[in-house]
Amino acid sequence: MQEDVLNIKNQALAQIMSADSAAELEQIRIDYFGRNGRFTNIIKNIKRVSADERKRIGLIINEAKKSIEELLENQKRNLRESVREWFDPTVPGQKPEIGHLHPITKTINEISRIFGRIGFERARYPEVEWDHFAFEALNMPKNHPARDEWETFFIDVPENSKYGKTVLTPHTSNGQVREMLRVGTPPIRMINIAKCYRRQSDISHAPMFHQFEGLVIDEDISIVNLKGTLDYFAKSFYGEGRTTRLRPYHFQFTEPSFEIDISCGVCKGRGCKVCKSGWLELGGAGMVHPNVLKAGKIDPVKYSGFAFGWGVERVLMMKEEVGIPDVRMIYGTDLRYLSQF
Ligand code: DAH
């Protein structure tokens, strides 16, 4: 009987060693340890052995059983690992998700580049600002009704004796007088792009938004220069076919003042559902008011200039191929929306 046990054991080990699939190993296990398995039968037959022999054979059987089971387990593990290590270089790779700049950052970069090409210097003036630069120096004295339009946030700190209250700047025009004081003697060609804040929130307004402010001051600057600059921007940013028009308006810090419209990209100025009149409103502009030049210590007799201030979000929303139904979505965190830009 001892010989039978050893024979069976050797056969089992040999079969296990040459098996090369999990299914084959399972079949071997059934062949040996199943209800009618070869090893099972041997155990059944142990009754026939004399009592004193039984103990010795029992040990041999146990030992053989252990060896077979161990090898089965080992072999199963080996097969599993060799499957895991198998590498198929033809399987297409998984692309890691790569982020990109926010649409507003991209637009700001593009605006800077467009004005940079015609010599505008990029500036960035404070978001937390004195009343003086946001209003007073822009020809809006205290209690002037024009201030209402700017729906300003005030910061609850003591007033400065020279510059007044502290506000979150409601427009980038605060950079105008700051730039004049910084540069001193013209020429000035500034593009100030910064965050602005107003107490407003609806589909076309967010409480925090961005503006870009152009300021040009030199001798003999006229509306012609303003119009040329705006047309250049419209064509560079929106495409060759676009033009601008000036519409009379009123701002305290410019005289004359204008609203700037751009010809509609959908109907090319003929009038359609999007624009109604053939024109879309871009933002404000004008010739710098003499009082503003004086506040910036520039002689309004010798020098003149123009300025314009537009919303970054607004000019982006007006690129008609970009669908932005609600400006606040740009500042949301829904990547399914943002990643399309
Ligand atoms: N600051 C104005 C606003 O926020 C826009 C503006 C109008 C800026 C006329 C200018 C300008 O520089 O000349 O509504």
% of the chain with per-residue pLDDT over 70: 98
Cis before 256? omega within 30: yes
173 lines ligand 1 (CB under 6 A): yes
Choice from 195, 253, 289 to test ligand 1 binding pocket (greatest atom count within 8 A of CB)? 253
Residue 44 has pLDDT above 90, yes or no: no
pLDDT one-digit tens code per residue, 134-177: 999 999 999 888 888 899 999 999 999 999 999 999 999 999 99
Q: Is 16 helix (H, G, I), strand (E, B) or coil?
A: helix
Which atom number of ligand 1 is nearest to the Cα of residue 310? 5
Q: Which helix (H) or strand (E) holds 80?
A: helix 51-85
Percentage, residues of the chain above pLDDT 90? 57
Q: Are 309 and 253 in contact (CB under 8 A)?
A: no
Q: Which helix (H) or strand (E) holds 28?
A: helix 22-33
214 CA closest ligand 1 atom index: 12
Which has the higher per-residue pLDDT, 189 or 18? 189
> What pLDDT sits at residue 321?
59
Q: What was the pLDDT predicted at 119?
A: 97
Whether 309 is in the pocket of ligand 1, judged by its Cβ within 6 Å, is yes
Spatial strand order in the sheet of 164-168: 128-130, 164-168, 153-160
The answer to whether the CB of 226 is under 6 A from ligand 1 is no
Q: Which two tokens stand for residue 125?
A: 């003036």
Distance (Å, whole) CA 134 – CA 147: 10
Hey, whose CA ends up nearest to atom 2 of ligand 1? 309
Instruction: Report the nearest atom of ligand 1 relative to the CA of 170.
Output: 4
Supply the pTM of this predicted model.
Answer: 0.72
Distance 102 CA to ligand 1 centre (A): 25
Residue 197 Cα to ligand 1 midpoint, Å, equals: 14
The residue ranking higher by pLDDT, 39 or 182, is: 182
| Per-residue model confidence as pLDDT tens digits over 54-105 | 888 888 888 989 999 999 999 888 888 776 667 788 989 888 888 899 999 9
State how far the Cα of 191 lies from the Cα of 307, in Å rounded to an integer. Answer: 10
| Cis upstream peptide for 187 (omega within 30°) | yes
Give the tens place of pLDDT for each residue, 259-297: 999 888 778 788 887 778 888 888 999 999 999 999 999
Task: Assess whether the C-beta atom of 214 lies below 6 angstroms from ligand 1.
Answer: no
- The answer to whether residue 229 scores a pLDDT higher than 80 is yes
| Residue 268 confidence (pLDDT) | 79
Q: What is the pLDDT of residue 159?
A: 96
What pLDDT, on the 0 to 100 scale, is given for residue 53?
A: 83
Going edge to edge, which strands form the sheet with 244-251? 121-123, 188-197, 208-218, 304-311, 279-288, 254-263, 244-251
Q: H helices within 86-201, ranges in order?
A: 103-116, 131-134, 174-183
**How many Å is the Cα radius of gyration of the chain?**
41
